[in-house]
């Protein structure tokens, strides 16, 4: 029997705030254990949590950018369960009245566009972190109370590749909005996948497994692929799928049942009495909507229209906000958009990748890239020289002009100087000159090569060509 | 009307181990409480919206500003066990 995978993703995104969701503790990554906690996030009796207004705005921005309906009324609820990383024995989350409902994310897989619907986006606080030691467990509450939004998709995804694209699109939107760092290593973006199979044509959903511990987009893709195969095999043997939580083991590439979570949960949600409801007017929501920054799709279209970039170039440059920003900063110093795009997508991205750097850590500034292009466009250096200058700029952080001046590299564009070399080359190469005069026009390229060699590649090739022809035709 | 409830479920969710005696006692007390609350069913609430908050306060927020946190020693000394700035709990196996 043929089965169809049905996949839904739950993505937790850390909102980019300086302080926690309900208290003033810092959200900075990498602090010593429990250095960023206070009575509110430790759950001391009698404390009063107060909502961070920036977290609220960021959640609304994310919802609007994804086409969600922002609720005019929403509230917080307590989700009750016992776990050492949860000091209050409940997590403040949103249950039946989340901040955003619905929405969609457009993805493209193998040239086909598809709309993935969102169920909801809600605000909640993060839990702490457990460190497993030999014999006992250490708990660090620095993450407790960190503001998150959980973005829940409908089970509209049908393949691991679609799940991967969905995450990529989601991340692009969040980065453009600047609502999150989306750093999976630091835990500011986390993903759980619900995976089930059903016979092709069947409308009813099969029993699903929830896969946790997916720490990179590629692992999401791999874990779903593995899980689909695991369920297929069970079904083909006539066995049943058990509804359970499974952990992905990235080192050995398999999922295993998480026994501690097997018992069905009863979270006994109830309204959080310490936090008052959030009420918006349509006008307030509209004012956030109009303040949304330009998103990737629109920027791509603008790049194609304003700078005559190809769809492919515009797509690559706008897929990451900081890349697109870099490109636009280059344009302040050079109007040659095509050359900027070529240098960025070719040499710059290659060198950055080799050094495992992001565009934000580029040793070359937009001004430097543009400066190199300007020198080429003014005919001061050849394309070949530019490649070498580029590498040196990347290595030293110097400007193109500095390197060219220091090395005396600048292109020879003085016709009297080139003329002297041309005359000398003609004198030293009678056979080639003869060939040329006898109609073998390709002898010219040999002579050009000789001039370039004599000038260590510095002569302006166009001028060399012209002067040689002029001299030979005399 | 007497409302019965499964005291074992509640005890399990609250991580409580009840003796046979306690089971009996709390079962009966919880049933009394539920029966009492049942009185509310006499009120016609067809046209009343569910209230999740009773006070007429909305939209209480604070600016996103970092305030000093606590000195870890000040609270770790109250924990049953602390080490290297961690709270130490019995081993959690996943
Ligand atoms: Zn705190």
Same domain for A234 and A123, yes or no, is yes
Residues paired with residue A105 on neighbouring β-strands, in sequence order: A116
Per-residue pLDDT for B2 more than 70?
no
Q: Please provide residue A397's backbone torsions phi and psi, each rounded to the nearest 5 degrees.
A: 75, 10
How far apart are the CA of B65 and the nearest CA of chain A, in angstroms?
Answer: 6
Domain shared by A164 and A224, yes or no: yes
pLDDT of residue A260 exceeding 60: no
* ipTM field: 0.89
Instruction: Annotate A362-400 with b (16+ C-beta within 10 A) or e (fewer).
Output: bebbbebbbbbbbbbeeebbbeebbeebbebbbeeebbb
User: Is B62 in contact with A53 (Cβ distance < 8 A)?
Assistant: yes
CB contact under 8 A, A35 and B59: no
Q: Do residues A324 and A356 share a domain?
A: yes
Q: What total of structural domains would you count in chain A?
A: 3
Structure confidence by residue, pLDDT tens digits, A58-100: 999 999 999 999 999 999 999 998 889 999 999 999 999 999 9
Q: Which of A257, A287, A317 is the last residue of a domain?
A: A287
Residues A146 and A259 reside in one and the same domain: yes
- Identify whether residues A194 and A274 lie together within a single domain: yes
Distance CA A100, CA A70 (A): 4
Domain limits for position A77: 3-287
Cβ contacts of B67 within 8 Å, gap of 6 or more: A19, A23, A24, A25, A38
Same domain, A189 and A258: yes
Contact A276 B94 (CB under 8 A): no
Q: Do B69 and A35 touch (CB under 8 A)?
A: yes
In this structure, the strands spanning A3-14 and A147-153 are: antiparallel
A271/A94 Cα distance (integer angstroms) = 9
Let me know whether A310 and A275 are in one domain: no
Smallest CA–CA distance, residue B74 to chain A, in Å, is 10
Same domain, A213 and A270: yes
Contacts of B69 in chain A (CB under 8 A): 25-26, 35-38
Confidence label for A228 from pLDDT (cuts 50, 70 and 90): very high
The residue from A389, A407, A425 where one domain ends is: A407
- Asked if A139 reaches chain B (Cβ–Cβ under 8 Å), the answer is yes
Q: Which among A125, A66, A130, A124 is positioned nearest to A98, based on CA atoms? A: A124
- Same domain for A184 and A255, yes or no, is yes
Q: Sort out which chain A residues have CB atoms less than 8 A from B89's CB and list them.
A: 84, 136-139
Q: Are residues A166 and A56 both part of a single domain?
A: yes
* pLDDT tens column, A98-144: 999 999 999 988 889 999 999 999 999 999 999 999 999 999 999 99
The mean predicted confidence, pLDDT, of chain A is 91
- A427–B contact, CB cutoff 8 A: no
Do residue A247 and residue A368 come from a single domain?
no
Same domain, A394 and A433: no
Which residue among A253, A287, A321 closes a domain? A287
Burial of A232 (0-12, 13-18, 19+ CB in 10 A): middle
CATH number where A455 lies: 1.10.10.410
């Amino acid at each position: 029997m043929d089965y169809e995978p049905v996949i839904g993703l739950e993505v937790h995104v850390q909102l980019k705030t300086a302080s926690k969701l309900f208290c003033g503790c810092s959200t900075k990554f990498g602090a010593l254990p429990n250095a960023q906690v206070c009575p509110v996030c430790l759950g001391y009796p009698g404390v009063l949590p107060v909502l961070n207004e920036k977290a609220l705005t960021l959640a609304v921005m994310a919802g609007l950018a994804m086409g969600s309906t922002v609720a005019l009324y929403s509230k917080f609820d307590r989700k009750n369960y016992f776990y050492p990383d949860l000091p209050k024995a409940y997590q403040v989350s949103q249950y039946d009245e989340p901040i955003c409902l619905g929405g969609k994310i457009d993805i493209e897989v193998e040239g086909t566009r598809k709309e993935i619907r969102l169920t909801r986006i809600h605000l909640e606080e993060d839990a702490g972190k457990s460190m497993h030691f030999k014999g006992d467990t250490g708990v660090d509450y620095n993450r407790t109370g960190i503001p998150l939004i959980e973005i829940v998709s409908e089970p509209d995804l049908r393949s691991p590749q679609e799940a991967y694209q969905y995450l990529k699109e989601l991340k692009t939107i969040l980065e453009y909005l600047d609502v999150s760092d989306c750093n999976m290593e630091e835990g500011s973006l986390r993903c759980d996948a619900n995976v089930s199979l059903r016979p092709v044509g069947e409308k009813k959903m099969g029993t699903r497994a929830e896969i946790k511990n997916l720490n990179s987009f590629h692992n999401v893709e791999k874990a779903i692929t593995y899980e689909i195969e695991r369920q297929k095999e069970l079904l083909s043997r006539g066995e049943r799928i058990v509804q359970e939580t499974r952990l992905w083991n990235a080192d050995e590439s398999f999922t295993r049942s998480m026994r501690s979570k097997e018992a069905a949960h009863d979270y006994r949600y109830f309204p959080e009495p310490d936090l008052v409801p959030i009420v918006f007017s349509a006008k307030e929501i509209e004012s956030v909507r109009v303040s949304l920054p330009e998103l990737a799709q629109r920027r791509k279209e603008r790049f194609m229209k304003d700078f005559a970039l190809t769809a492919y170039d515009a797509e690559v440059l706008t897929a990451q906000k900081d890349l697109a920003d870099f490109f636009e900063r280059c344009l302040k110093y050079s109007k040659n958009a095509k050359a900027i795009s070529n240098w960025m997508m070719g040499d710059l991205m290659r060198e950055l990748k080799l050094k495992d750097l992001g565009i934000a850590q580029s040793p070359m500034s937009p001004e430097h890239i543009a400066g190199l292009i300007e020198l080429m466009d003014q005919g001061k250096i050849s394309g070949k020289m530019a490649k070498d200058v580029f590498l040196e700029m990347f290595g030293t952080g110097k400007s193109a002009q500095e390197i060219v001046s220091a090395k005396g590299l600048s292109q020879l564009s003085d016709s009297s100087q080139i003329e002297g070399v041309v005359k000398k080359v003609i004198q030293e190469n009678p056979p080639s000159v003869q060939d040329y005069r006898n109609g073998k026009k390709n002898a010219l390229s040999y002579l050009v090569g000789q001039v370039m060699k004599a000038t260590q590649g510095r002569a302006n090739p166009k001028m060399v060509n012209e002067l040689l022809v002029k001299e030979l035709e005399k | 009307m007497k409302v019965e409830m499964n005291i074992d479920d509640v005890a399990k969710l609250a991580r409580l181990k009840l003796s046979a005696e306690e089971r009996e006692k709390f079962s009966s007390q919880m049933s009394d409480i539920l029966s009492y609350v049942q009185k509310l069913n006499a009120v016609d609430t067809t046209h009343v919206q569910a209230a999740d908050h009773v006070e007429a306060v909305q939209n209480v927020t604070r600016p996103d500003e970092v305030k000093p946190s606590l000195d870890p020693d000040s609270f770790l000394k109250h924990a049953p066990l602390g080490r290297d700035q961690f709270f130490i709990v019995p081993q959690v196996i996943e």
